Amino acid sequence: MIRFARLASTTLLFVVAVAIAGAGLARDRKSPAQKSDIAQVETARGKFVRIEPVVAHRGMVVTQERQASLIGADILARGGNAVDAAVAVGFALAVTLPKAGNLGGGGFMLVHLAKSHENVAIDYRETAPAAATADMFLDAGGNADPNKSRYSGLAVGVPGTVAGLTLALEKFGSGRFTLAELIAPAVKLAREGIPVEGDLLDSLLLAAPRLQRWPSTAAIFAKADGTPWEEGDRLLQPQLADTLETIGREGPRAFYHGPIADKIVSAVRAADGRMTRIDLESYWAAIREPVRGTYRGYDIVSMSPPSSGGIHLIEMLNILEGFPLKSLGAGKPEALHLMIEAMKLAYADRAEYMGDRDRVEVPVERLISKAYAAELRAGINPDRARPVESIRPDSSALGGGGNTTHFSIIDEFGNAVANTTSLNFSYGVGLVAGDTGILLNNTLDDFAAKPGAPNAFGLIGGSANAPAPGKRPLSSMTPTIVLKDGAPVLITGAPGGSRIITTVLQVIVNSIDFDRPVAQAVAAPRVHHQWRPDAVLVEPGVPAATRRALEKLGHKVEAGPLFGAANSIAVTPEGFVGAADSRAAGALAAGL
C-alpha cells in the first residue's frame, strides 16, 4: 500500500518540483533555440507571479495542487504509466482541491498511447436523471429560474468521475497497481487532514455562505460553532476517507449500486432533485473517438461531444490558419483582433448546433472542416470588428468563471493524459451527500434552460442542449494533445467555464505561431469573446495601449479577472517541460 509518509520521504530523491517551466515546441522534432527566461503572470493588483523552468526526462505531472502532483509523480517513479498516475491524481484532488476535484462531478480524459499511436477520449460527463424534462428549470411563467438550475437538487447530475477514472485504469492502466493502491494516498490525506491555507482557505471563505446552507456540508467545511476555518487549521475528511477506501476495495459498483448510492439519492431528493437509484445504476462512462484537426503541420487531438471544446478549438484554428499571425506578432492588437473574430464565429456555432451527440445530430465534420473555415474566414475584416448581430441575432448576459481543474501527465514511454474535471461551480451545488463526504455537482446548469437563456457562464444554447432524460449537458472542457509525427509535443487544457476553449486556443497559438516556450505560452495575458455578450474580456496583463487599439478596431473591451490555470507540458529534445500555471495558487510541475 502506498503511504504518503513514504512519498514525503522519497520525493526529494527523484522529483524535480518547481512552480512553472518553459520550453518551446520542437518543430519537425528538431530542437529550436531554447529560452529559459522566467515568465510572469500579472494579477489584477498589478503584481507579478513568477513562472520558472522545470525540465525532466522520465515523466512529468502538472496539476493545480502540490500534493496531487507529487502523488502522480510517485506513481510514475514506481513504474506506473500516465493513466495510473492520472487515476491517483484524480482521486487525490477530490481531497486536496475540494472546490473542483471531485467524486461527485464529472469530466473528460484524453489519452495518447505511445505504443499503438492510438488516441482515446473518455467521456465521464454527468447525466440528467430519467425524470428530467425540458421545462425543469423554468418558473411558473415559463422563464428560466437560476435557483433551480444552480442551487437546488435539480441541478445535480448523475456523477461520472468514479466511473471514468476506473474505466481508464481498467482499459489503459499499466496493470502494476490495484485501484486500492492508487486511491490509498487520497485516503491517507482525507483521514489525516490537510492544512487550511492559501487557495483552500480563500475558496472556503468565498464559498462559506453556500456551504453553510447544508448541515452535512457545514459539518465538514466549517468549525463546530459554524464559523469558517482559519489559516493554520487542519481540514479532516474522515467520511470521504471511508468512501474512498470502500471504492478502492470494492470498485465503482460500491459508488453506483451500494449504500453510497442510496445516500447520494437521498441527499439530492431532499434538496428537491429527481435522481433515483436507477439513475446511478444506469450510469456509464463512454470511450469515444476524439476530434482531430491539423494546424500548421501539427495534429490537434481534442475532446469530442458532449464537449464543445475540441470542435470549436479546431474550428478557430482552421480559421486562423489562413492568416499570417506570426508576422503580426505575439500580443499585437492586429493578431488579437483576428483571434477575437474567430472566437465570435465559433461560439455562435456552439449556441446553434452543439449538444449531446448521443441524442442530437451535431454536424461535427462540417464544423471542423477546412472548407467551412474558409467560408467563415472570408467574413472577417482584418481592420474592423464585426457586429455580433450580423452573425446571429440572439442575446445573452456576461458570465463568470467556474471551478474546474485540469492536469497534464506524460510518462517515460510517451503515454500522455490530458484530463479536465469539474463540479461546475466552486464546490458544486455545495451539498455533501449524507455522511459520504462527497460534494455534489450543479452541472445541469450547463443545459439550456430554454432556447436563448444564458447559463451561469453567459453561454446560450438551443434545443440541441435542452434537458432530457439521461442526456449529458454540453461542456466547454477542452483537454488537448498536440502531436508531431505521431508523438506528443504539447499536452494542455484549462478550467474557466466559457473561457476554457479560448484559453487552450491561445496556449497553442502562442506555442506554434509565436514560438513561445511553454511557460511563456501559458503565462501570456489572454483575451476572450464568446459571441454574446458583444464584449472582449481581457486579463489584467493586457497593456492599456493594446486595449485602446482593440477599441479603435471596434471592439468593446472589458477588464476581466485572471482566466483558468492551463497546466501544460511541452515535449522537447531537451526533455519534458512542465508549466504549472501560476494563475492557480499551489499549482506544481513535478518531474522525474
Give the catalytic positions in this structure.
Answer: 404
- Evaluate the CA torsion angle 310, 311, 314, 317 in order and state its sign: negative
The angle at the Cα of 43, spanning 42 to 49, to the nearest 5 degrees, equals 60
Q: How far apart are CA 474 and CA 312, in angstroms?
A: 13
Parallel, antiparallel, or unpaired: how do β-strands 416-424 and 194-195 relate? unpaired
Whether 17 contacts 588, CB under 8 Å = yes
- CB neighbourhood size of 176 (10 A): 13
DSSP string, 350-415: HHHH-S-TTTS---HHHHT-HHHHHHHHHT-BTTBPPPGGGT-----------EEEEEEEEETTS-
Residue 184 to residue 314: CA distance in whole angstroms: 38
Q: Is 496 left (phi over 0), alpha (psi -120 to 50) or beta?
A: left
C-alpha grid cell, residue 421? 474535471
- The answer for 531, left when phi > 0, alpha when psi is -120 to 50, beta otherwise, is left
Q: State yes or no: cis peptide before 533, omega within 30 of 0.
A: yes
- DSSP for 401-460, please give it: --EEEEEEEEETTS-EEEEEEEEESTTTTS-B-TTS-PBBP-GGGGS-SSTT---TTS--
- Tell me the DSSP string of 57-71: SSEEEEESSHHHHHH
> Are residues 237 and 437 in contact, defined by beta-carbon separation less than 8 angstroms?
yes
Please tell me whether residue 113 adopts helix, strand or coil conformation: strand
Beta strands across the sheet bearing 403-411? 16-18, 588-591, 59-63, 403-411, 416-424, 106-113, 118-124, 286-288
CA dist 476 → 165, 325, 499 (Å): 20, 25, 8
Residue 345, sorted as left (phi over 0), alpha (psi -120 to 50) or beta, turns out to be: alpha
Q: In this structure, how many other beta carbons lie within 10 angstroms of the beta carbon of residue 339?
A: 21
List, edge to edge, every strand of the sheet that includes 536-538: 527-528, 536-538, 557-559
Q: Which amino acid is at 427?
A: Y
